[in-house]
Amino acid sequence: MSDALVFHFDVDGDNFTSAGQASTQVKKNLRQLGLSPAIIRRVSIAMYEGEINMVIHANGGTADVYVTEDYIDIVLADQGPGIENVEQAMQEGFSTATDSIRSLGFGAGMGLPNMKRYTDSLEIDTVVGEGTTITMRVNLA
Amino acid sequence: MKISMIRDLLDAEVLCCEESLESDVYSACGSDMMSDVLAYVKDQAVLLTGLVNPQVIRTAEMMDMKCIVFVRSKKPSAAMVSMAEDDGIVMMATDKRMYDACGTLYINGLIGTKAVHV
């Protein structure tokens, strides 16, 4: 990915209000690059769900977006609690979010399924107690 | 359906982006859970919600939605109005409850079934 255009963001884990700012910025950047609205929407929704997850489950982390001619990679890395059972976490409706998170409109158990739905590939590298790195790819070609 | 018709049917107060009231919308989604909203892309859509926080605006922005309707007399903060203005999203508030608001729009022709799976 040496010739990729890279956007890097630090995601603040303490501020639910600002959650999603990185995805908003990426959406603007991709618009400036002239990508199709459908591609931009898929990338920004998948990244937004991931960003929200990092804020509500992992006290923030980093988000890197790599744009090449052929694909866009979104890499979200945190040092949160990790995911104990990935298969369970991928099921629609499963969530470990608290009621206070639900009252904010998230925690319906759709985050990871939505990230998979909108991307061409989703890889989850997680170690309980150490953190999670999620890599998503949206193909352009 | 024109956004101005939504305003009229729901007797809603328009909070920003009045200049887009004559834009057309083709589908709608009613939910307080943003991830449920994010699950299905609909074209030119309206979001009806009783949830009031900045993530409602972000969700609508990510989905390229044209209009947000707050039900049950909920009112967004000035910061949220400003966010919606920046995104060009018409925002309005109605006294109607979610079920009544969705039903009113549905029977007047704004059906919510044009989900596009991507």
Task: For each of the domains in chain B, give its residue range(s) and CATH number, in order of start.
Answer: 3-113 (3.40.1390.20)
**Least Cα separation, residue B57 to chain A (angstroms):** 10
pLDDT mean across residues, chain B: 93
Do A40 and B54 meet the contact criterion of CB atoms below 8 Å apart? no
Q: Do the bridges between strand B115-116 and strand B13-16 make them parallel or antiparallel, or are there none, so unpaired?
A: unpaired
The separation between CA A138 and the C-alpha centre of its own chain, rounded to angstroms, equals 12
Number of domains present in the structure of chain A: 1
* pLDDT, tens only, B65-113: 999 999 999 999 999 999 999 999 999 999 999 999 999 999 999 987 5
Q: Which of A23, A107, A113 sits opposite B62 (nearest CB)?
A: A23
**Coil, helix or strand for A18?**
coil
**Coil, helix or strand for A84?**
coil
pTM above 0.90, yes or no: yes
Quick check: A80 contacting B, CB < 8 Å?
no
Q: How many CB atoms lie within 10 A of CB B1?
A: 18
- Which residue range forms the structural domain that includes residue A124? 5-139
Q: How many CB atoms lie within 10 A of CB B108?
A: 13
**Lateral strand order in the sheet of B90-93:** B13-16, B90-93, B67-70, B45-49, B27-30
SS3 labels along chain B: CEHHHHHHHHCCEEEECHHHCCCECCEEEECCCHHHHHCCEECCEEEEECCCCHHHHHHHHHCCCCEEEECCCCCCCHHHHHHHHHHCCEEEECCCCHHHHHHHHHHCCCCCCCEECC
Question: Residue A15: phi, psi to the nearest 5?
Answer: -125, 95
CATH number, domain of A57, equals 3.30.565.10
Inter-chain residue contact B63 with A41, CB threshold 8 Å: yes
Show pLDDT as tens, one digit a residue, over chain A (141 residues): 558 999 999 999 988 999 999 999 999 999 999 999 999 999 999 999 999 999 999 999 999 999 999 999 999 999 999 999 999 999 999 999 999 899 999 999 999 999 999 999 999 999 999 999 999 999 998
Chain B interface, best mutation among A12, A18, A24, A43, by max B CB count within 10 A: A24
- Give the Cα separation of B113 and B118 in Å (integer): 15
**Least Cα separation, residue B58 to chain A (angstroms):** 7
